[in-house]
Structure 1
Protein backbone atom coordinates (compact mmCIF):
# COMPACT_ATOMS: atom_id res chain seq x y z
CA UNK A 1 0.00 0.00 0.00
CA UNK A 2 1.34 3.44 -0.91
CA UNK A 3 1.49 6.25 1.66
CA UNK A 4 -1.22 8.11 -0.30
CA UNK A 5 -3.51 5.08 -0.13
CA UNK A 6 -2.75 4.63 3.56
CA UNK A 7 -3.60 8.25 4.35
CA UNK A 8 -6.79 7.93 2.34
CA UNK A 9 -7.78 4.69 4.07
CA UNK A 10 -6.83 5.87 7.54
CA UNK A 11 -8.73 9.15 7.24
CA UNK A 12 -11.78 7.41 5.78
CA UNK A 13 -11.73 4.98 8.71
CA UNK A 14 -11.33 7.88 11.15
CA UNK A 15 -14.44 9.59 9.77
CA UNK A 16 -16.53 6.42 9.51
CA UNK A 17 -15.99 5.77 13.21
CA UNK A 18 -15.90 9.40 14.38
CA UNK A 19 -18.83 10.80 12.43
CA UNK A 20 -20.50 7.42 12.97
CA UNK A 21 -20.59 7.90 16.74
CA UNK A 22 -22.00 11.40 16.27
CA UNK A 23 -24.73 9.96 14.04
CA UNK A 24 -25.52 7.28 16.62
CA UNK A 25 -25.85 9.84 19.41
CA UNK A 26 -27.49 12.73 17.55
CA UNK A 27 -29.86 11.26 14.97
CA UNK A 28 -33.41 10.18 15.71
CA UNK A 29 -34.35 6.51 16.16
CA UNK A 30 -30.91 5.05 16.82
CA UNK A 31 -30.01 2.77 19.73
CA UNK A 32 -27.44 5.34 20.87
CA UNK A 33 -29.66 8.41 20.66
CA UNK A 34 -28.98 10.91 23.43
CA UNK A 35 -25.74 9.26 24.52
CA UNK A 36 -24.18 12.64 25.22
CA UNK A 37 -20.78 14.29 25.08
CA UNK A 38 -18.87 11.49 26.79
CA UNK A 39 -20.02 8.98 24.19
CA UNK A 40 -18.94 11.29 21.38
CA UNK A 41 -15.53 12.14 22.81
CA UNK A 42 -14.82 8.52 23.69
CA UNK A 43 -15.96 7.46 20.23
CA UNK A 44 -13.67 9.96 18.52
CA UNK A 45 -10.74 8.87 20.70
CA UNK A 46 -11.38 5.23 19.75
CA UNK A 47 -11.65 6.26 16.10
CA UNK A 48 -8.25 7.93 16.26
CA UNK A 49 -6.73 4.87 17.95
CA UNK A 50 -8.03 2.47 15.30
CA UNK A 51 -7.18 4.71 12.35
CA UNK A 52 -3.64 5.50 13.53
CA UNK A 53 -2.94 1.86 14.39
CA UNK A 54 -4.23 0.70 11.01
CA UNK A 55 -1.90 2.76 8.80
CA UNK A 56 0.95 3.94 11.03
CA UNK A 57 3.52 1.58 9.56
CA UNK A 58 2.79 2.71 6.00
CA UNK A 59 2.28 6.48 6.07
CA UNK A 60 3.11 7.64 9.59
CA UNK A 61 -0.63 8.14 10.16
CA UNK A 62 -0.89 11.91 9.86
CA UNK A 63 -4.61 11.73 8.97
CA UNK A 64 -4.76 15.50 9.43
CA UNK A 65 -3.40 18.39 7.31
CA UNK A 66 -2.46 20.22 10.50
CA UNK A 67 -0.16 17.37 11.52
CA UNK A 68 1.31 17.14 8.03
CA UNK A 69 1.98 20.89 8.01
CA UNK A 70 3.59 20.85 11.46
CA UNK A 71 5.89 17.94 10.60
CA UNK A 72 6.96 19.70 7.39
CA UNK A 73 7.62 22.94 9.28
CA UNK A 74 9.77 21.01 11.76
CA UNK A 75 11.77 19.49 8.91
CA UNK A 76 10.50 16.00 9.67
CA UNK A 77 8.44 15.56 6.48
CA UNK A 78 9.18 16.39 2.85
CA UNK A 79 7.39 19.48 1.57
CA UNK A 80 7.00 17.85 -1.82
CA UNK A 81 4.78 15.18 -0.24
CA UNK A 82 2.53 17.64 1.63
CA UNK A 83 0.01 18.23 -1.21
CA UNK A 84 -0.53 14.52 -1.89
CA UNK A 85 -1.01 13.75 1.81
CA UNK A 86 -3.49 16.58 2.24
CA UNK A 87 -5.43 15.52 -0.86
CA UNK A 88 -5.58 11.93 0.40
CA UNK A 89 -6.83 13.11 3.80
CA UNK A 90 -9.53 15.31 2.28
CA UNK A 91 -10.70 12.59 -0.11
CA UNK A 92 -10.70 10.00 2.67
CA UNK A 93 -12.77 12.28 4.90
CA UNK A 94 -15.31 12.81 2.11
CA UNK A 95 -15.63 9.08 1.46
CA UNK A 96 -15.85 8.30 5.18
CA UNK A 97 -18.72 10.76 5.61
CA UNK A 98 -20.49 9.26 2.62
CA UNK A 99 -20.23 5.79 4.18
CA UNK A 100 -21.77 7.13 7.41
CA UNK A 101 -24.67 8.52 5.37
CA UNK A 102 -25.19 5.15 3.70
CA UNK A 103 -25.19 3.37 7.07
CA UNK A 104 -27.64 5.84 8.68
CA UNK A 105 -29.85 6.78 5.73
CA UNK A 106 -33.12 5.93 7.47
CA UNK A 107 -32.08 7.79 10.61
CA UNK A 108 -31.13 10.87 8.58
CA UNK A 109 -34.58 10.73 6.99
CA UNK A 110 -36.19 10.49 10.43
CA UNK A 111 -34.33 13.51 11.82
CA UNK A 112 -36.22 16.77 11.27
CA UNK A 113 -33.68 19.33 12.48
CA UNK A 114 -31.29 20.41 9.67
CA UNK A 115 -28.65 21.57 12.16
CA UNK A 116 -28.58 18.12 13.77
CA UNK A 117 -28.16 16.51 10.37
CA UNK A 118 -25.34 18.88 9.45
CA UNK A 119 -23.73 18.34 12.85
CA UNK A 120 -23.11 14.68 12.02
CA UNK A 121 -20.87 15.78 9.17
CA UNK A 122 -19.06 18.86 10.42
CA UNK A 123 -18.54 21.10 13.42
CA UNK A 124 -20.45 24.17 14.54
CA UNK A 125 -19.90 26.63 17.40
CA UNK A 126 -21.97 26.57 20.56
CA UNK A 127 -21.85 30.40 20.53
CA UNK A 128 -21.23 31.88 17.10
CA UNK A 129 -18.39 34.40 17.36
CA UNK A 130 -16.04 33.75 14.48
CA UNK A 131 -13.03 35.43 16.07
CA UNK A 132 -13.42 33.51 19.32
CA UNK A 133 -14.24 30.30 17.45
CA UNK A 134 -11.07 30.69 15.37
CA UNK A 135 -8.99 31.24 18.50
CA UNK A 136 -10.47 28.17 20.20
CA UNK A 137 -9.67 25.97 17.20
CA UNK A 138 -6.14 27.39 17.01
CA UNK A 139 -5.51 26.78 20.73
CA UNK A 140 -6.95 23.26 20.70
CA UNK A 141 -4.95 22.32 17.61
CA UNK A 142 -1.77 23.83 19.02
CA UNK A 143 -2.13 21.65 22.12
CA UNK A 144 -2.91 18.61 19.98
CA UNK A 145 -0.02 19.09 17.56
CA UNK A 146 2.48 19.80 20.35
CA UNK A 147 1.52 16.47 21.86
CA UNK A 148 1.76 14.68 18.53
CA UNK A 149 5.19 16.18 17.80
CA UNK A 150 6.50 14.90 21.12
CA UNK A 151 4.90 11.48 20.71
CA UNK A 152 6.27 11.17 17.16
CA UNK A 153 9.69 12.69 17.95
CA UNK A 154 11.76 9.46 17.97
CA UNK A 155 10.52 8.27 14.56
CA UNK A 156 9.40 11.47 12.77
CA UNK A 157 6.00 9.87 12.32
CA UNK A 158 3.37 8.02 14.30
CA UNK A 159 3.98 4.32 14.82
CA UNK A 160 1.49 1.70 15.94
CA UNK A 161 2.54 2.07 19.58
CA UNK A 162 1.72 5.78 19.40
CA UNK A 163 -1.95 5.11 18.65
CA UNK A 164 -2.99 4.93 22.31
CA UNK A 165 -1.34 8.15 23.56
CA UNK A 166 -2.65 10.08 20.55
CA UNK A 167 -6.15 8.72 21.20
CA UNK A 168 -5.92 9.76 24.86
CA UNK A 169 -4.74 13.19 23.75
CA UNK A 170 -7.81 13.55 21.50
CA UNK A 171 -10.05 12.42 24.38
CA UNK A 172 -8.51 14.99 26.72
CA UNK A 173 -8.87 17.81 24.20
CA UNK A 174 -12.46 16.87 23.46
CA UNK A 175 -13.38 16.94 27.14
CA UNK A 176 -11.42 20.09 27.97
CA UNK A 177 -11.41 22.33 24.88
CA UNK A 178 -14.15 20.79 22.75
CA UNK A 179 -17.09 22.70 24.21
CA UNK A 180 -16.97 25.99 22.27
CA UNK A 181 -16.55 24.65 18.71
CA UNK A 182 -16.76 20.86 18.74
CA UNK A 183 -12.95 20.57 18.36
CA UNK A 184 -12.40 19.97 14.66
CA UNK A 185 -8.58 20.28 15.13
CA UNK A 186 -8.33 18.82 11.62
CA UNK A 187 -9.20 20.73 8.42
CA UNK A 188 -9.87 17.55 6.42
CA UNK A 189 -12.13 16.12 9.14
CA UNK A 190 -14.40 19.14 8.79
CA UNK A 191 -14.11 20.12 5.11
CA UNK A 192 -14.42 16.64 3.58
CA UNK A 193 -17.66 15.78 5.42
CA UNK A 194 -19.00 19.32 4.88
CA UNK A 195 -18.55 18.80 1.14
CA UNK A 196 -20.34 15.46 1.47
CA UNK A 197 -23.20 17.19 3.29
CA UNK A 198 -23.46 19.72 0.47
CA UNK A 199 -23.49 17.07 -2.26
CA UNK A 200 -25.43 14.14 -0.81
CA UNK A 201 -29.23 13.96 -1.31
CA UNK A 202 -30.13 14.41 2.36
CA UNK A 203 -33.81 15.06 3.03
CA UNK A 204 -34.45 18.60 4.31
CA UNK A 205 -30.78 19.09 5.07
CA UNK A 206 -30.61 22.89 4.96
CA UNK A 207 -27.40 24.73 4.10
CA UNK A 208 -23.85 23.55 4.80
CA UNK A 209 -22.89 26.75 6.68
CA UNK A 210 -20.06 27.80 4.41
CA UNK A 211 -19.84 31.08 6.28
CA UNK A 212 -18.33 29.17 9.20
CA UNK A 213 -16.35 26.62 7.19
CA UNK A 214 -13.15 28.66 7.10
CA UNK A 215 -12.82 28.55 10.91
CA UNK A 216 -12.09 24.77 11.24
CA UNK A 217 -9.67 25.08 8.33
CA UNK A 218 -7.73 28.22 9.19
CA UNK A 219 -7.80 27.76 12.97
CA UNK A 220 -6.12 24.34 12.95
CA UNK A 221 -3.54 25.39 10.35
CA UNK A 222 -2.58 28.45 12.38
CA UNK A 223 -2.54 26.36 15.56
CA UNK A 224 -0.32 23.77 13.91
CA UNK A 225 2.08 26.47 12.75
CA UNK A 226 2.26 27.90 16.25
CA UNK A 227 2.87 24.42 17.67
CA UNK A 228 5.71 23.77 15.24
CA UNK A 229 7.37 27.09 16.10
CA UNK A 230 6.92 26.55 19.82
CA UNK A 231 8.19 22.98 19.61
CA UNK A 232 11.28 24.17 17.75
CA UNK A 233 11.93 26.87 20.35
CA UNK A 234 11.52 24.47 23.26
CA UNK A 235 13.19 21.35 21.92
CA UNK A 236 15.28 22.46 18.94
CA UNK A 237 16.22 20.01 16.22
Structure 2
Protein backbone atom coordinates (compact mmCIF):
# COMPACT_ATOMS: atom_id res chain seq x y z
CA UNK A 1 0.00 0.00 0.00
CA UNK A 2 1.29 3.46 -0.86
CA UNK A 3 -0.10 5.19 2.25
CA UNK A 4 -0.08 4.36 5.97
CA UNK A 5 -2.99 2.10 6.83
CA UNK A 6 -4.63 4.83 8.93
CA UNK A 7 -4.52 7.22 5.96
CA UNK A 8 -6.06 4.60 3.67
CA UNK A 9 -8.76 4.00 6.25
CA UNK A 10 -9.49 7.73 6.23
CA UNK A 11 -9.67 7.69 2.42
CA UNK A 12 -12.10 4.78 2.52
CA UNK A 13 -14.37 6.59 4.96
CA UNK A 14 -14.30 9.76 2.85
CA UNK A 15 -15.01 7.90 -0.38
CA UNK A 16 -17.74 5.74 1.12
CA UNK A 17 -19.83 8.49 2.68
CA UNK A 18 -21.29 9.89 -0.59
CA UNK A 19 -21.92 6.32 -1.74
CA UNK A 20 -23.66 5.48 1.53
CA UNK A 21 -25.80 8.62 1.38
CA UNK A 22 -26.92 7.95 -2.20
CA UNK A 23 -27.48 4.27 -1.49
CA UNK A 24 -29.60 5.12 1.56
CA UNK A 25 -31.77 7.47 -0.51
CA UNK A 26 -32.17 5.06 -3.44
CA UNK A 27 -35.70 3.67 -3.74
CA UNK A 28 -35.59 -0.06 -3.28
CA UNK A 29 -38.40 -2.57 -3.18
CA UNK A 30 -37.23 -6.19 -3.07
CA UNK A 31 -38.77 -8.21 -5.90
CA UNK A 32 -41.90 -10.11 -4.95
CA UNK A 33 -41.02 -13.40 -3.33
CA UNK A 34 -37.44 -12.34 -2.57
CA UNK A 35 -36.22 -13.03 0.94
CA UNK A 36 -33.00 -11.02 0.67
CA UNK A 37 -32.17 -7.33 0.54
CA UNK A 38 -29.44 -6.50 -1.95
CA UNK A 39 -29.45 -2.93 -0.70
CA UNK A 40 -28.67 -4.08 2.85
CA UNK A 41 -25.96 -6.38 1.54
CA UNK A 42 -24.29 -3.51 -0.31
CA UNK A 43 -24.55 -1.22 2.70
CA UNK A 44 -22.79 -3.84 4.80
CA UNK A 45 -19.76 -3.68 2.49
CA UNK A 46 -19.10 -0.03 3.34
CA UNK A 47 -17.02 1.09 6.35
CA UNK A 48 -19.10 1.90 9.41
CA UNK A 49 -20.40 5.47 9.52
CA UNK A 50 -19.04 6.08 12.99
CA UNK A 51 -15.71 4.51 12.11
CA UNK A 52 -12.77 6.81 12.77
CA UNK A 53 -9.27 6.46 11.32
CA UNK A 54 -7.33 4.00 13.45
CA UNK A 55 -3.62 4.64 13.99
CA UNK A 56 -2.96 0.95 14.66
CA UNK A 57 -5.03 -0.53 11.86
CA UNK A 58 -3.57 -3.86 10.76
CA UNK A 59 -2.75 -4.81 7.19
CA UNK A 60 -5.36 -7.57 7.34
CA UNK A 61 -8.06 -5.11 8.43
CA UNK A 62 -7.33 -2.56 5.71
CA UNK A 63 -7.15 -5.27 3.04
CA UNK A 64 -10.55 -6.53 4.17
CA UNK A 65 -12.05 -3.04 3.99
CA UNK A 66 -10.53 -2.37 0.55
CA UNK A 67 -11.88 -5.72 -0.68
CA UNK A 68 -15.40 -5.04 0.61
CA UNK A 69 -15.44 -1.50 -0.76
CA UNK A 70 -14.26 -2.82 -4.14
CA UNK A 71 -17.07 -5.39 -4.16
CA UNK A 72 -19.63 -2.71 -3.35
CA UNK A 73 -18.34 -0.44 -6.10
CA UNK A 74 -18.30 -3.33 -8.57
CA UNK A 75 -21.94 -4.16 -7.88
CA UNK A 76 -23.07 -0.55 -8.13
CA UNK A 77 -20.99 0.23 -11.22
CA UNK A 78 -22.10 -2.96 -12.99
CA UNK A 79 -25.78 -2.07 -12.57
CA UNK A 80 -25.51 0.19 -15.61
CA UNK A 81 -25.25 -2.98 -17.72
CA UNK A 82 -28.15 -4.84 -16.09
CA UNK A 83 -31.92 -4.71 -16.39
CA UNK A 84 -32.41 -7.40 -13.74
CA UNK A 85 -34.69 -6.33 -10.90
CA UNK A 86 -31.98 -7.06 -8.34
CA UNK A 87 -29.82 -4.29 -9.81
CA UNK A 88 -32.06 -2.09 -11.97
CA UNK A 89 -33.16 -0.03 -8.93
CA UNK A 90 -29.68 1.49 -8.65
CA UNK A 91 -29.69 5.04 -10.12
CA UNK A 92 -27.27 5.78 -12.95
CA UNK A 93 -25.79 8.58 -10.86
CA UNK A 94 -24.89 6.11 -8.10
CA UNK A 95 -23.37 3.71 -10.62
CA UNK A 96 -21.19 6.51 -11.98
CA UNK A 97 -20.25 7.68 -8.48
CA UNK A 98 -19.19 4.16 -7.47
CA UNK A 99 -17.00 3.82 -10.53
CA UNK A 100 -15.40 7.18 -9.76
CA UNK A 101 -14.88 6.28 -6.10
CA UNK A 102 -13.07 3.10 -7.06
CA UNK A 103 -10.80 5.07 -9.41
CA UNK A 104 -10.01 7.50 -6.61
CA UNK A 105 -9.15 4.63 -4.27
CA UNK A 106 -6.92 3.13 -6.95
CA UNK A 107 -4.80 6.27 -6.89
CA UNK A 108 -4.21 5.81 -3.17
CA UNK A 109 -3.48 2.08 -3.35
CA UNK A 110 -0.57 1.74 -5.76
CA UNK A 111 2.09 -0.15 -3.82
CA UNK A 112 2.19 -3.25 -1.65
CA UNK A 113 0.07 -5.19 -4.15
CA UNK A 114 1.95 -8.43 -3.67
CA UNK A 115 -0.48 -10.85 -5.30
CA UNK A 116 -0.24 -9.42 -8.82
CA UNK A 117 3.53 -9.28 -8.46
CA UNK A 118 3.53 -12.99 -7.71
CA UNK A 119 1.57 -13.62 -10.92
CA UNK A 120 4.30 -11.97 -12.95
CA UNK A 121 2.69 -8.60 -13.64
CA UNK A 122 5.22 -5.96 -14.67
CA UNK A 123 3.96 -3.26 -12.32
CA UNK A 124 5.77 -0.60 -14.29
CA UNK A 125 3.52 -1.31 -17.28
CA UNK A 126 0.22 -1.57 -15.40
CA UNK A 127 -1.97 1.49 -14.86
CA UNK A 128 -2.77 2.32 -11.24
CA UNK A 129 -6.47 1.61 -11.72
CA UNK A 130 -5.73 -1.78 -13.22
CA UNK A 131 -3.39 -2.71 -10.36
CA UNK A 132 -6.09 -2.53 -7.72
CA UNK A 133 -8.64 -4.29 -9.93
CA UNK A 134 -6.25 -7.15 -10.65
CA UNK A 135 -5.20 -7.44 -7.01
CA UNK A 136 -8.85 -7.48 -5.95
CA UNK A 137 -9.74 -10.11 -8.55
CA UNK A 138 -7.16 -12.52 -7.18
CA UNK A 139 -8.89 -12.35 -3.82
CA UNK A 140 -12.56 -12.00 -4.73
CA UNK A 141 -13.06 -14.19 -7.81
CA UNK A 142 -12.93 -17.47 -5.85
CA UNK A 143 -15.55 -16.12 -3.42
CA UNK A 144 -17.73 -14.82 -6.27
CA UNK A 145 -17.48 -18.23 -7.92
CA UNK A 146 -18.64 -19.85 -4.67
CA UNK A 147 -21.56 -17.42 -4.36
CA UNK A 148 -22.69 -18.29 -7.87
CA UNK A 149 -22.26 -22.02 -7.35
CA UNK A 150 -24.17 -21.95 -4.05
CA UNK A 151 -27.39 -20.96 -5.82
CA UNK A 152 -27.01 -23.48 -8.62
CA UNK A 153 -29.35 -26.44 -8.71
CA UNK A 154 -27.32 -29.61 -8.32
CA UNK A 155 -28.32 -32.90 -9.81
CA UNK A 156 -29.24 -35.75 -7.51
CA UNK A 157 -26.85 -38.62 -6.95
CA UNK A 158 -28.24 -40.62 -9.87
CA UNK A 159 -27.63 -37.66 -12.17
CA UNK A 160 -31.13 -37.68 -13.61
CA UNK A 161 -33.20 -35.50 -11.32
CA UNK A 162 -32.82 -31.90 -10.32
CA UNK A 163 -34.06 -30.73 -6.94
CA UNK A 164 -34.63 -27.07 -6.09
CA UNK A 165 -34.28 -28.05 -2.44
CA UNK A 166 -30.56 -28.44 -3.07
CA UNK A 167 -30.15 -24.72 -3.74
CA UNK A 168 -28.10 -23.40 -0.84
CA UNK A 169 -28.30 -19.66 -1.51
CA UNK A 170 -30.84 -17.23 -3.04
CA UNK A 171 -30.31 -16.65 -6.75
CA UNK A 172 -30.19 -12.89 -6.10
CA UNK A 173 -26.70 -13.32 -4.69
CA UNK A 174 -25.60 -15.19 -7.81
CA UNK A 175 -26.93 -12.45 -10.09
CA UNK A 176 -25.08 -9.75 -8.18
CA UNK A 177 -21.91 -11.85 -8.02
CA UNK A 178 -22.06 -12.49 -11.77
CA UNK A 179 -22.28 -8.78 -12.51
CA UNK A 180 -19.51 -8.00 -10.04
CA UNK A 181 -17.40 -10.60 -11.83
CA UNK A 182 -18.27 -9.08 -15.20
CA UNK A 183 -17.32 -5.59 -14.04
CA UNK A 184 -13.96 -6.66 -12.64
CA UNK A 185 -13.02 -8.48 -15.83
CA UNK A 186 -13.95 -5.56 -18.08
CA UNK A 187 -11.62 -3.26 -16.15
CA UNK A 188 -8.51 -5.24 -17.14
CA UNK A 189 -7.26 -5.05 -20.70
CA UNK A 190 -4.90 -7.11 -22.84
CA UNK A 191 -2.33 -8.46 -22.09
CA UNK A 192 -2.86 -8.24 -18.32
CA UNK A 193 -6.12 -10.19 -18.27
CA UNK A 194 -4.30 -13.21 -19.66
CA UNK A 195 -2.43 -13.63 -16.39
CA UNK A 196 -5.75 -13.85 -14.57
CA UNK A 197 -7.27 -16.51 -16.84
CA UNK A 198 -6.74 -19.32 -14.29
CA UNK A 199 -9.19 -17.42 -12.07
CA UNK A 200 -11.44 -15.90 -14.72
CA UNK A 201 -12.20 -19.03 -16.76
CA UNK A 202 -13.41 -21.24 -13.84
CA UNK A 203 -15.67 -18.43 -12.64
CA UNK A 204 -17.04 -17.89 -16.16
CA UNK A 205 -17.74 -21.61 -16.56
CA UNK A 206 -19.55 -21.65 -13.21
CA UNK A 207 -21.76 -18.83 -14.51
CA UNK A 208 -22.33 -20.74 -17.73
CA UNK A 209 -23.48 -23.83 -15.80
CA UNK A 210 -25.98 -21.83 -13.75
CA UNK A 211 -29.70 -22.20 -14.41
CA UNK A 212 -30.40 -18.45 -14.30
CA UNK A 213 -30.33 -16.79 -17.77
CA UNK A 214 -29.09 -13.57 -16.16
CA UNK A 215 -26.08 -15.37 -14.72
CA UNK A 216 -25.45 -17.26 -17.96
CA UNK A 217 -25.39 -14.08 -20.03
CA UNK A 218 -22.50 -12.77 -17.95
CA UNK A 219 -20.57 -15.95 -18.72
CA UNK A 220 -21.13 -15.55 -22.44
CA UNK A 221 -19.95 -11.96 -22.28
CA UNK A 222 -16.81 -12.89 -20.34
CA UNK A 223 -15.85 -15.78 -22.60
CA UNK A 224 -16.46 -13.56 -25.61
CA UNK A 225 -14.13 -10.96 -24.11
CA UNK A 226 -11.39 -13.56 -23.77
CA UNK A 227 -11.93 -14.73 -27.36
CA UNK A 228 -11.33 -11.18 -28.58
CA UNK A 229 -7.77 -11.25 -27.28
CA UNK A 230 -4.97 -12.13 -29.72
Relative contact order (alpha carbons < 8 A, sep ≥ 6): 1 or 2 greater?
1
**Fold similarity call, TM over 0.5:** no
> What's the TM-score once normalised by structure 1's chain length?
0.31
Specify which structure has the higher proportion of helix: 1
Considering only CA atoms, is the larger Rg found in Structure 1 or Structure 2? 2
